[in-house]
Amino acid sequence: MYSKLHVFGDAEEISSANHYDLLFISLDWSRPKDLRTPLSTASIEAYFSKNQAGNVNAEFKSFNLNSPDFDVCDVRQSIKERRPNFLALGAYIWNEQYVPDVVRWTKEHYPNTVIIFGGPQVTYGNHHLAAEYPGVDYFIRGEGEVPFTKLMNVLSSDNVPSQELLNRYAIFTPETLKPGECNGIFTGELDKLPSPYLSQILPVQQNQPFVRWETLRRCPYKCSFCQFRLEGHKVSEINHERLWQELEYFKEAEVQEINVLDPIFNLNPKHYLEVCKKIEALGMQSRFYFQCRLELLCRPAGEEFLKFCQDHDVWLEFGVQTFREEESDAVERRNKYPKIYKAIETLHRFNVPFDLHLIFGLPFQSLGDFFWSYDKAKEACPSGLYIFPLNILKGTNLYQKSMEWEYEYNTENNNVFLRSKWMLKHEVECLKKAAEDINSHSKQVRDSDGLLQLPDLREKLDYLMRD
């Protein structure tokens, strides 16, 4: 899929060129309702379009990995057709099996192409990145909009980036990726980022079924399985002026569903209550999905927020992950269960639909322990229950302990958990099948506003194990 082609600089000079200067490729894992260009890539494109130096002919192209038509040969063909001076790629856990080959192939055929790498696999990588991705010229650790543009402005002017610039924006070369010297991660002020929607990088059609939206980035909690964890980097909120304009845009287009990507939407009452008030003032009829933290509903602003949810088409999502304190502490999540149970009672009192999420494969979790968490989730009578296997993600504290805890995981499929010292492989396989059924049922209930009916998990697994 092609996003809008951005041409900068002298038109005659560019038209006479035989190739594109910059090709930005994103290899994405998309859901059926998603826009074809992901919000993260569109945000980089929006900032680059507005702030680049003016001498770059750039194309941003997205491939959907989970499309039945996806073929990595199409990625190579795009590079072959354009022979770019600069190739930019985002490394995510879902495209890990493809990007090293794309880099290797590009360097073999076009050795002068400068390759720039970013994304979570880089941000949470370390000095091993150069060995893991041979051929990459620059690694950007952290949020990519500003560093990518700053780097491209220097390189496209035929200059070499200074060490001061590299240090400031957490950009590394293979030579500077040294043990103990590559800890920098860039996070910027979000009020400087233009909107991908208002910039028309992500144009919204009338009666658009679905958009993803963000109002803040980063998370103050320290769950050891999560890549949102950034020590010393504060949560940053997008300025309200931009958010209000985006909401007005969505309102005018009559967008049907808005999924808010914030790690924890209900973090700061001064922020999220203002967002709610704006939604109310606009009289928006869209359905909103907010990812929240249960314990925060017990704060003074919690009931005001739930009153808003009660009066509007809102669906809340809570990643409680486990109801066992030992497991919660092991992954540094430290759930406050008295507050969690109180929050669940309040959700029912306000009659607000909500999903609970559980993870299986956590440290110290046996199959019987997961049954216990599942039963607790079932007792909570959620509107939906989603169960996911643990992902052992690069750069997390859990990743560092994976050998100690005897984790096996599928390196060719999102580092998905296969077994641990507490849970056997055949138990995990059966749990995955049961989880797929439960998740599918929850989605059907959500789409139809029906009633969730959860099975007895022990009986379901007994059947699957016999089968």
Query: For 316-357, how does the pLDDT look when each residue is reduced to its tens digit (9 = 90+)?
Result: 999 999 999 999 999 999 999 999 999 999 999 999 999 999
355, 380 in Cβ contact below 8 A?
no
Dihedrals φ, ψ of 65, to 5°? -65, -35
Largest CA distance in the chain: 71
CA distance 393 to 224: 10
Predicted local confidence at residue 229, as pLDDT:
62
Predicted local confidence at residue 32, as pLDDT:
64
Predicted local confidence at residue 193, as pLDDT:
94
- C-alpha pair distances (Å), 128 with each of 33, 36, 175, 254: 36, 32, 11, 47
Predicted local confidence at residue 58, as pLDDT:
92
Mean pLDDT over residues 4-17, rounded?
36
Predicted local confidence at residue 17, as pLDDT:
39
Angle of helix 39-51 relative to helix 145-155, nearest 10 degrees, comes to: 40
* Strand spans (E) along 77-186: 86-90, 114-118, 138-140, 171-172
CA distance 170 to 173: 10
Q: Where in the chain is the domain with CATH 3.40.50.280?
A: 6-176
DSSP code for 28: E
Q: Which residues contact 92 (CB under 8 A, 6 or more apart)?
A: 27, 28, 29, 119, 120, 121
The first and second tokens of residue 132, run together, are: 């893991």
Q: Which residues contact 467 (CB under 8 A, 6 or more apart)?
A: none
DSSP code for 451: -
Predicted local confidence at residue 1, as pLDDT:
38
pLDDT band at 230 (very low <50, low <70, confident <90, very high): low
Give me the helices (H) in 194-301, please.
Answer: 240-253, 269-282
- C-alpha pair distances (Å), 415 with each of 179, 254, 365, 401: 24, 38, 18, 14
- Name 409's bridge partners: 417
Q: Which residues contact 360 (CB under 8 A, 6 or more apart)?
A: 370, 387, 388, 389, 390, 417, 423, 428, 431, 435
pLDDT band at 309 (very low <50, low <70, confident <90, very high): very high
Position 173 pLDDT exceeds 80: yes
Query: Could you tell me the sign of the dihedral formed by the alpha carbons of 113, 114, 119, 125, in that order?
Result: positive
Overall fold of domain 204-466: pyruvate-formate lyase- activating enzyme (3.80.30)
Which overall architecture, per CATH, does domain 6-176 show?
A: 3-Layer(aba) Sandwich (3.40)
305, 274 in Cβ contact below 8 A?
no
Predicted local confidence at residue 390, as pLDDT:
96
Predicted local confidence at residue 56, as pLDDT:
86
pLDDT band at 184 (very low <50, low <70, confident <90, very high): confident
Predicted local confidence at residue 268, as pLDDT:
96
Of the two residues 1 and 296, the one the predictor is more confident about is 296
Q: Where in the chain is the domain with CATH 3.80.30.20?
A: 204-466
Q: Which residues contact 341 (CB under 8 A, 6 or more apart)?
A: none
Global pTM value? 0.90
The first and second tokens of residue 176, run together, are: 């500077």
How does pLDDT run across 32-87, given as a tens digit for each residue? 666 678 899 999 999 999 999 878 889 999 998 888 889 999 999 999 999 999 99
User: How do strand 236-237 and strand 216-217 relate by DSSP bridges?
Assistant: antiparallel
